[in-house]
Amino acid sequence: MTLSGKTAVVTGGSRGIGRAVVRRLVAAGARVVFTYAHREPAEVPPGTVAVRADQADLASLEMIFEQVADGFDILVNNVGVGPRIPIAELTADQIDRVFTINLRFPLLAIKAAVPLLRDGGRIINISTLNTVLGAPGLSLYCSSKAALEQVTVVASKELGPRAITVNTVSPGATDTDMLRAHNEADGLAQGVAMTALRRLGTPDDIAAVVAFLVSADGGWITGQNIRATGGLIL
């Protein structure tokens, strides 16, 4: 697979799954613009441009797409937050923040991308297995990501005539800072025991799925939710 001559935008590309996606796309020959929210990344790989953009602030969209004003080929909406808050303790501000980051921003990013994406382009929305395997305290995470999955379906219909594919990738238990911040050791061990391949996923596992979907070989797949879980739910 080669992405030589392609330009990609990846949100949240400084760590975790996003960083693995950036590295994989660069290795395939793409130029990559990626965002980070607060701490400037210690490493900016050759062939990439880092843009500070807090996804809680919709005004930062403009700064991202200025970098690809002459057109681009791949959009990966990777950023997501999943605070554990029981429904009984939710506030309106918490609801607004999570839905802005997980749904409004990526939806508006797709809108901004439409006139800039070249025909035959690719859009990937990163969701979560938790939309079908809910857990206490994750009502905001699950519902906002589930809504993003429906955006994928509709966008695939709207952009299909231009040969632009739109897909969701839903990781299972993937070894990231976010996973470890929200799970104790017992919870991680339980996730491994429930997974057919008997291990946690890695960011590289998810990046490999993204890389396939944005390649020429993935051109006949659109409107789908690829659950990259190692068999966590079957």
Q: Is the pLDDT of residue 179 over 70?
A: no
**Sequential DSSP letters for 111-163:** HHHTTTEEEEEEEEEE--GGGTS--TT-HHHHHHHHHHHHHHHHHHHHHGGGT
User: What dihedral do alpha carbons 125, 129, 134, 139 form, nearest 10°?
Assistant: -20
Rounded average pLDDT over 22-36? 96
Q: Is the pLDDT of residue 78 over 70?
A: yes
Instruction: Give the pair of three-digit tokens for residue 125.
Output: 């929305």
Rounded average pLDDT over 10-26? 94
141 is a catalytic site residue: yes
DSSP 41: P
> Among 141, 164, 166, 205, which one carries the catalytic annotation?
141
pLDDT in tens, 182-226: 666 777 788 788 888 988 889 999 999 999 999 999 999 999 999
pLDDT at 173: 83
In the sheet that 72-77 helps form, which strands lie side by side, from edge to edge? 48-52, 31-36, 7-10, 72-77, 117-126, 165-171, 225-228
pLDDT in tens, 95-132: 999 999 999 999 999 999 999 999 999 999 999 999 99
